[in-house]
Amino acid sequence: MKPNIVILLLLSLIMAGGAMAQSSADILKTSEEKRRGIESSTAEMSMTIIRPSWTRTMSMKAWSKGEDYSLILITGPAKDKGTATLKRKKEVWNWLPRIERVVKLPPSMMSQSWMGSDLTNDDLVREVSLITDYDHKKLADEVVDGRKCWKIELIPHDDVAIVWGKVIMVIDQKDYLQLRTEFYDEDDELINVMKASEIKTMGGRPVASKLELIPQDEEGHKTILEYKSLEFDKKVPEAFFSVQNMKRAK
Amino acid sequence: MLFKIAWRNLWRNKRRTFITMASVFFAVLMAIFLRSIQEGVYDQMIDNSVRYYRGYVQVHQNGYWDEQFIDNTFEDSPELQQTLENEKEVRVVTPRLESPMMVSTGSNSRFSLMVGIDPAKEDQITRLKGRIVEGEYLEEGDKAIVVGVGLAEKMKLALGDTLILLGQGYHGQQSYDQYPIKGMVKFGSPELNKRMVYLPVKEAQYLLASPDRLSAYAMDVSSRRVSGKVVEQLESKLDSGTYEVMDWQEMDAELLKFIESDRAGGMVTMFILYILIGFGIFGTALMMISERKYEFGVQIAIGMKKIQLAYILIMEMVFIAVMGVLAGAIVAIPLQYFFHANPIDLGKDMAKVYESFNIEAIIPTSTDPSIIIDQAVFVLIMTLLIMIYPISKLFRIKPIEAMRG
**Residuewise pLDDT in 10s, chain A (250 residues):** 445 655 555 555 455 444 445 788 888 888 888 887 778 889 999 999 999 889 999 999 999 888 788 899 999 899 889 999 998 887 889 999 999 999 998 877 777 888 888 888 877 766 567 888 889 988 888 898 889 999 999 999 888 777 889 999 999 999 999 999 999 999 999 999 999 999 999 988 899 999 999 999 888 999 999 999 999 888 888 889 999 999 888 7
Residues of chain B neighbouring A80 (CB-CB closer than 8 A): 173-174
Q: Average pLDDT, whole number, for chain B?
A: 88
**Is it the case that residue B182 has pLDDT exceeding 90?**
yes
The residue-averaged pLDDT of B330-352 equals 81
What pLDDT digit, counting tens, does each position of B259-308 carry? Answer: 899 888 888 888 888 888 788 778 877 887 888 888 888 888 888 888 88
Are the C-beta atoms of residues A47 and A115 closer than 8 Å to each other? yes
Higher pLDDT, residue B118 or B382: B118
Beta-sheet pairing, A84-88 with A69-76 = antiparallel
Q: Judge: A103–B166 Cβ closer than 8 Å, yes or no.
A: yes
Interatomic CA distance for residues A203 and B395, integer angstroms: 107
By C-alpha distance, the chain A residue nearest B171 is A54
Q: Give the model's confidence band at B343: pLDDT under 50 very low, under 70 low, under 90 confident, else very high.
A: confident
Q: Judge: A115–B177 Cβ closer than 8 Å, yes or no.
A: no
Interatomic CA distance for residues A180 and B134, integer angstroms: 56
Are the C-beta atoms of residues B227 and B56 closer than 8 Å to each other? yes
CB-neighbour burial class of residue B184 (10 A; exposed 0-12, middle 13-18, buried 19+): buried
In angstroms, the separation between the Cα of residue A85 and the nearest Cα of chain B is 13
Using a CB–CB cutoff of 8 Å, tell me whether A117 touches chain B.
Answer: yes
Strand partners, A184: A166, A190
Interface residue ranges in chain B relative to chain A, Cβ cutoff 8 Å: 71, 102, 104, 106-107, 109-111, 164, 166, 168-169, 171-174, 176-178
C-alpha angle B315/B317/B321, rounded to 5°?
A: 115
The residue-averaged pLDDT of B47-56 equals 84
pLDDT of residue B218: 94
DSSP string, A98-126: TTTEEEEPPGGGTTSBSTTSS-BHHHHT-
Q: Percentage of chain B with pLDDT > 90?
A: 36
Q: Is the dihedral of CA B217, B218, B222, B226 positive or negative?
A: positive
pLDDT of residue A7: 59
Long-range CB pairs of B6-13 (<8 Å, 24+ gap) are B6/B311, B6/B312, B6/B313, B6/B315, B6/B316, B6/B319, B7/B315, B7/B319, B9/B312, B9/B316, B10/B316, B10/B319, B10/B320
The single-letter DSSP state of residue B53 is I
DSSP string, A176-211: --EEEEEEE-TTS-EEEEEEEEEEEEETTEEEEEEE
pLDDT of residue A17: 44
Interatomic CA distance for residues B357 and B344, integer angstroms: 17
Spatial neighbors of B308 by CB under 8 A, at least 6 apart, are B2
Q: Which helix (H) or strand (E) holds B290?
A: helix B253-291
Query: Quick check: helix, strand or coil at residue B112?
Result: strand
pLDDT of residue A12: 52
Interatomic CA distance for residues A229 and B211, integer angstroms: 37
The single-letter DSSP state of residue B50 is I
Beta-sheet pairing, B57-61 with B74-75 = unpaired
User: Position B124: which residue type?
Assistant: Q
Are the C-beta atoms of residues A51 and B172 closer than 8 Å to each other? yes
Beta-sheet pairing, B196-200 with A69-76 = unpaired
**CB hemisphere CA count around A64 (13 angstroms):** 20
B343 phi, psi to nearest 5 deg: -60, 150
Cα B76 to chain centroid, rounded: 33
Give the pTM: 0.76
CB-CB: which of B111, B172, B174 is closest to A83? B174
Helix axes B306-341, B253-291, angle to 10 degrees: 140
pLDDT of residue A1: 46
Q: Judge: B166–A116 Cβ closer than 8 Å, yes or no.
A: no
DSSP string, B300-348: HHTT--HHHHHHHHHHHHHHHHHHHHHHHHHHHHHHHHHHHHSPEE-HH
Beta-sheet pairing, A166-172 with A178-184 = antiparallel
Biggest distance spanned by C-alpha atoms of chain B: 98
Chain A (46-75) residues lying within 8 Å, Cβ to Cβ, of chain B: 49, 51, 53-54, 56
Interface A–B counts its CB contacts (< 8 A) at: 57
Q: Which helix (H) or strand (E) holds B386?
A: helix B369-386
Are the C-beta atoms of residues B233 and B57 closer than 8 Å to each other? no
Using a CB–CB cutoff of 8 Å, tell me whether A83 touches chain B.
Answer: yes
CA-based end-to-end distance of chain A:
26
Measured CA distances, A10 to A3, A4, A16, A18, A219 (Å): 12, 10, 10, 12, 46
In angstroms, the separation between the Cα of residue B71 and the nearest Cα of chain A is 9
Using a CB–CB cutoff of 8 Å, tell me whether A88 touches chain B.
Answer: no
ipTM: 0.77
Residue B334: cis peptide before it, omega within 30 degrees of 0: no
What pLDDT digit, counting tens, does each position of B109-135 carry? Answer: 999 999 999 999 999 988 899 999 999
The single-letter DSSP state of residue B61 is E
Are the C-beta atoms of residues A197 and A214 closer than 8 Å to each other? no
